[in-house]
Structure 1
Amino acid sequence: MKNLRRVGLGVGVGALALTLAAPSASASGSADFGHGGFGTATLTGWAALPAATFVSASDPSGALLGGTPSNGVTPPFDDQPIQGFSGIVKNGDGTFDVISDNGYGNKANSGDFVLRIHHLAPDYSTKTVDVLGGINLTDPNRYVPFALTRPDRVLTGADFDIESIQRVKDGSYWIGDEFGPYLLHFDRAGRLLQAPIPLPGVRAPENPEGSPNLNSSKGFEGMAQSPDGRTLYPLLEGTVAGDPAGTLRFNEFSLVKQQYTGKVYTYQLEDPANSIGDAIAVDDDRFLIIERDNGQGATAKFKKIYMADKRDRNRDGKMDKTVVADLMHIADPRHLFGPADVFTFPFQTIEDVVILDDRTLGVVNDNNFPFSSGRTPGRPDDDEFITIRLTDNLHADKRFLK
């Protein structure tokens, strides 16, 4: 989600005190939902891709930004920025596929930003990230029923706002969009395989069908896949008009039948002003969900990863929630980032989480290049890749641990 409220403030991590919380009663969902949780996670790896990293010999970008400098960076750009990471797929060899979202914040200014899946390799020993390549998303077979920005049918940020991704067994990708919201199905070369699939009864303002009941940039921010690969769970970032404040619809989509099942679960935000950043499955019933406030730097207060259980054991009609990690309070005893004993991830948008092993998560920020400056005031944020060690095992389905 591109919500580009600019805040020019920094964060002082050295002033924070390190307090280790007790482990949770159980990692399988029997903790005091919404209050208990795991203890303080530990930073085990940090690497960064510099903000000003571009796809070589690509198309110009940023012309619609009006030439206004942001954080010392003046558009337009000769090439496409490698930025805005809003979804991640683990490749099993230390590399990841990540998607760039709609570009510069909205439909109107992102018509020259090409939607792309990047192939990246973080190296935690050197604290760098290698760009190994990538594929552009296209619609050569004309499945999109409305007019596209480019005549060559390369998809741009004015066509879709892609925010979540899953790869299925045949190597194709399912991607969640916010403008519909739509589900988009691409082959391994990035070619759209079928018409965009809308969510019944829900429309964003950018949806050409009209009658919106969802705010802009509040579509499919997260999307999980079941362990057997038969079901997708796309999660809306915003509350549908008429639903209780701060409730998000967690939908179930059958990949076998290619349709929504009609089952909808409810995720409750801690504060209606919060947003979710990503959602992935742990097993058939439990999911990891990033929930965050809209602050960055010194104004960033709430950035957490929850375990959400759709079994609703306390029968309140909402998914049960347990805190897995507080991203504003991560132990750094080895000083992998700096001299402080506490590491914070103070970014406005944190939109990627992936299970690396049963006690280790990978987390990546969306840097909203060039607009976000959560790490250093006046400087565009890098894309930071971190790994964190949890105090408890996830007891994840073994198919997610490969």
Structure 2
Amino acid sequence: MRLTLALTALAAPLMAQEAQQFDATLAGHAILPAETFVLPPEPLWRTFGISGRFTSGERVDMPFTVPGVSSSGPRDARRSTGLSLPFVGQPVQGFSGVKAIGDGRYWSLSDNGFGSKLNSPDALLMAHIIAPDWQSGEVLVERTVFLSDPGRLLPFKLVNEFTAERYLTGADFDLESIQPVGDLLWFGEEFGPYLFATDLEGRVVFFTDVIADGEVIESPDRPDQRLPSAPDRELDFTARRSRGLEGMAQSPDGSTLYPMLEGPIWDAEAGAFETVEDGRAALRLLEFDIDNREYTGRHWFYPLEADNHAIGDFNMIDGTRGLVIERDGGEGSAALACPEDAATTECFARPAEFKRVYLISLDVEPGQPVEKRAYIDLLDIADPDGVARQGGADGRFDFPFVTIENVDRVSETEIIVGNDNNLPFSAGRFLDRADDNEWILLEVGDFLQQ
């Protein structure tokens, strides 16, 4: 596979414009506890009543015997999160994509389970309708939908291949984005990467590859990826592991999807990942026609502020503007950072430094970088009224999680933001406690007007 590095052919260099920072004020804080579980569908009680049996490198069947540790920072400084695997039930965790549907309710989803193809064959894939109650601080899970492929539309072998229902697991897909359109749920996925749709009961009705420049984008985790027969033979893929589809927005009229990759595409001929003219790593933002079930061939580029950054979610707020989470890989407050070259389990070895929500504009020619107009800093949120239920102090509040993967507009002046708590492998709020699923409502009226 050989992709042409499209940005090298731009007619003239594009000067990067500095996005303006705007203030955010905490207007609501609701928490779904880390230890929130659901039972699998009845036919799967025996097989999937226990989850997380494969996270230690070998199968462990006895519940609560493998301690969870934070996956951020040096190995010798990784902290206990206070929870142990395997779990009884399926954890409602790893929220990775959100879409407002009115009346204070949202579609969201649990991602692949425990972090990889290899350790998640007993994690069922789920989408949820949730309702944060900003007054009580609780999060109601109104409905859980388990994804399945009874129509046998998926062209590769599933964990539950030889069952009638063919429920999907975290060894089949790594779900990272969700968009409800009419009577369908659309999902962006990282392993393939793939784009697919289900009905409202979670049954697959459509499936396709991710295509850029007329070529299929492939990652090392594709089910059809073949290992070389000799060590000197190169593998042929264009997306790094865990850098497939991450964010995915839809147009206001529901006719178009905008899937965005989490990492830049590799261009074998250039021997480099895609960049914009000023050298920043660039992520493909694609366009997919829902009615015709095909990519339009149009795309834009989202430039990262640093090569080691990733995006967490993407939602449009009108016909040309959208919200994007951009983040680093750190977790925990800088106030509890370890001294330089002295990382221990008593401090954050790699604290959060860059967690932002950008407002971008697609009102540029296809093939060009989007305009990053404005941003808010999720590590410096005003909380003058003491709204924070945990994490706030002295009128300020931060959201120092390693993965923040949910953002959407709620009103003309408010947005909702949520973390992916990577249960039980993230501890960014407290040094020694697994992160909860936190949802925050932010007042950002001036930001949304840009």
1:146-204 per-residue CA deviation (whole Å, 9 max, x = no partner) reads: 100013310000000000011112x2111000011111110011000023433333111
Structure 1 position 110 matched with structure 2 position 120: yes
Equivalent residues of 1:40, 1:391 under 8 A apart: no
1:369 aligned partner: 423
Q: Partner of 2:313: helix, strand, or coil?
A: strand
Equivalent residues of 1:34, 1:323 under 8 A apart: no
Separation in 1, partners of 2:396, 2:367: 36
1:157 aligned partner: 170
Equivalent residues of 1:358, 1:393 under 8 A apart: no
Pair 33,228 (structure 1): closer, same or farther in 2 beyond 3 Å: farther
User: Amino acid of the residue matched to residue 314 of structure 2?
Assistant: A
Q: Partner of 1:175: helix, strand, or coil?
A: strand
Equivalent residues of 1:185, 1:196 under 8 A apart: no
Q: Partner of 2:51: helix, strand, or coil?
A: coil
Separation in 1, partners of 2:207, 2:411: 36
- Give 1:395 shift: 4.9
Structure 1 position 227 matched with structure 2 position 252: yes
Percent of aligned pairs with the same residue?
42
Structure 1 position 168 matched with structure 2 position 181: yes
User: Amino acid of the residue matched to residue 168 of structure 1?
Assistant: V
1:328-365 per-residue CA deviation (whole Å, 9 max, x = no partner) reads: 11100001114421110000000000110011000010
Separation in 2, partners of 1:112, 1:196: 25
Structure 1 position 61 matched with structure 2 position 51: yes
2:326 aligned partner: 291
| Residue segments in structure 2 that go unaligned for 5+ positions in a row | 1-14, 57-64, 69-80, 226-235, 268-273, 334-350
User: Amino acid of the residue matched to residue 178 of structure 2?
Assistant: I
Q: Partner of 2:266: helix, strand, or coil?
A: coil
Equivalent residues of 2:331, 2:352 under 8 A apart: yes
- Give 1:286 shift: 1.4
Structure 1 position 121 matched with structure 2 position 131: yes
Larger displacement relative to structure 2 (105-114 or 32-41): 32-41
Q: How many residues align?
A: 363
Structure 1 position 390 matched with structure 2 position 425: no
Structure 1 position 81 matched with structure 2 position 91: yes
1:252-271 per-residue CA deviation (whole Å, 9 max, x = no partner) reads: 11112111111110100000
Structure 2 counterpart of 1:265, from 300, 306, 312:
300
Structure 1 position 37 matched with structure 2 position 7: no
Separation in 1, partners of 2:18, 2:398: 21
2:204 aligned partner: 192
Structure 1 position 336 matched with structure 2 position 387: yes
Separation in 2, partners of 1:369, 1:331: 28
1:205-242 per-residue CA deviation (whole Å, 9 max, x = no partner) reads: 11134321111111110001011111100000001112
Separation in 2, partners of 1:110, 1:253: 29
Pair 301,88 (structure 1): closer, same or farther in 2 beyond 3 Å: same
Equivalent residues of 1:38, 1:390 under 8 A apart: no
Would you identify which runs of 4 or more consecutive aligned residues in structure 1 move more than 6 Å? Answer: none
Equivalent residues of 1:204, 1:216 under 8 A apart: yes
1:322 aligned partner: 373
2:354 aligned partner: 302
Separation in 2, partners of 1:78, 1:34: 50
Separation in 2, partners of 1:305, 1:393: 10
Structure 1 position 132 matched with structure 2 position 142: yes
Separation in 2, partners of 1:156, 1:379: 27
User: Amino acid of the residue matched to residue 69 of structure 1?
Assistant: P
TM-score for both structures, normalised by structure 2? 0.77
- Give 1:98 shift: 1.0
Greater C-alpha Rg: 2
TM-score for both structures, normalised by structure 1? 0.86
Q: Partner of 1:392: helix, strand, or coil?
A: helix
- Give 1:124 shift: 1.2
User: Amino acid of the residue matched to residue 286 of structure 2?
Assistant: N
Equivalent residues of 1:304, 1:323 under 8 A apart: no
Equivalent residues of 2:19, 2:375 under 8 A apart: no
Separation in 1, partners of 2:111, 2:17: 30
2:30 aligned partner: 47
Pair 34,368 (structure 1): closer, same or farther in 2 beyond 3 Å: farther
Separation in 1, partners of 2:17, 2:427: 30
